[in-house]
């Protein structure tokens, strides 16, 4: 199936050229809110039937048990200039029109270049061996399935569910207890973040603010 036929979400308002623009799907992880409950990880596994050992999203905690303890959920960030897409020798990774970095599992040769390129550790491989055979890569699909007929058995087996085609948000963001993990069109996500930052005042919870400008207001 060609990429153009993928079901993608569009923005409501008309764009500059007077025609509807595709949404630009993004994740945002609010480190001032993530409590490491693991809800996103479980929802992802349940939704997409992800096998043990593969983490399409994981919550990382730094400074555990000490002041400054911070959690951050890390799925595939679906980068605009995605290093994985740039290095993939067989173009198994590609951008959908809505910005989601999609994967064609039948093209993937399991070389692992994307694993080295990705700053977030998103690409997952089902096996490891002394001679480098890793199997076909697996990663967060933004709950948008893959390049197959939407809702087909084949899509479900290879990639998991396709909530985007159903008009829903990814499972992880849908269940987030504290709304730390937000997903959706970049404009909507930016609105939510802007409101939170404004409410929080100076620094707005930006990572490293205290170190750069000192504590307190």
Q: Contact residues for other proteins (CB under 8 A)?
A: 32-33, 35-39, 41-42, 45-46, 52, 64-71, 177-179, 196, 199-201
Q: Nearer Cβ to other proteins, position 13 or 199?
A: 199
Report CA 178 to chain centroid distance, whole Å: 18
Q: 15 is written with which tokens?
A: 């764009």
Spatial distance between the Cα atoms of 62 and 174, rounded to a whole number of angstroms: 24
Nearest approach in angstroms of CB 206 to other proteins is 14
Nearest approach in angstroms of CB 62 to other proteins is 10
Nearest approach in angstroms of CB 185 to other proteins is 22
**DSSP labels, 135-191:** -S-B---TTB--SSSTT-HHHHHHH--BTTTTT---HHHHH-TTS-EEEEEHHHHHH
Half-sphere exposure for 96 (CA within 13 Å, toward CB) = 29
Q: Nearer Cβ to other proteins, position 36 or 188?
A: 36
Q: Nearer Cβ to other proteins, position 67 or 89?
A: 67
- 70: closest CA among 213, 205, 203? 205
- 197: closest CA among 207, 184, 187? 207
Q: Nearer Cβ to other proteins, position 39 or 145?
A: 39
Nearest approach in angstroms of CB 81 to other proteins is 31
Nearest approach in angstroms of CB 33 to other proteins is 5
Spatial distance between the Cα atoms of 40 and 175, rounded to a whole number of angstroms: 7
Q: Nearer Cβ to other proteins, position 32 or 156?
A: 32
Q: Nearer Cβ to other proteins, position 84 or 140?
A: 140
Nearest approach in angstroms of CB 72 to other proteins is 12
């Amino acid at each position: 199936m060609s990429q153009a036929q993928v079901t993608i979400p569009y923005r409501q308002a008309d764009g500059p050229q007077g025609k509807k623009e595709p949404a630009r799907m993004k994740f945002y992880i609010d480190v001032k809110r993530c409590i490491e409950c693991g809800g996103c990880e479980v929802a992802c596994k349940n939704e997409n039937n992800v096998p043990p050992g593969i983490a399409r999203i994981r919550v990382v905690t730094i400074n555990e048990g000490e002041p400054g303890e911070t959690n951050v959920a890390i799925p595939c960030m679906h980068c605009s200039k995605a290093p994985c897409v740039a290095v993939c020798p067989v173009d198994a990774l590609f951008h959908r029109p809505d910005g989601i970095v999609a994967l064609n599992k039948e093209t993937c040769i399991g070389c692992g270049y994307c694993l080295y390129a990705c700053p977030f550790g998103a690409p997952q491989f089902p096996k490891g061996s002394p001679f480098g055979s890793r199997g076909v890569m697996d990663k967060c699909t933004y709950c948008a399935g893959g390049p197959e007929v939407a809702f087909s058995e084949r899509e479900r087996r290879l990639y998991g569910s396709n909530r985007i085609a159903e008009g829903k948000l990814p499972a992880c963001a849908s269940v987030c207890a504290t709304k730390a993990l937000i997903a959706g069109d970049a404009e909507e996500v930016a609105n939510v973040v802007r409101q939170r930052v404004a409410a929080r005042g100076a620094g707005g919870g930006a990572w490293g603010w205290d170190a750069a400008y000192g504590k307190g207001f």
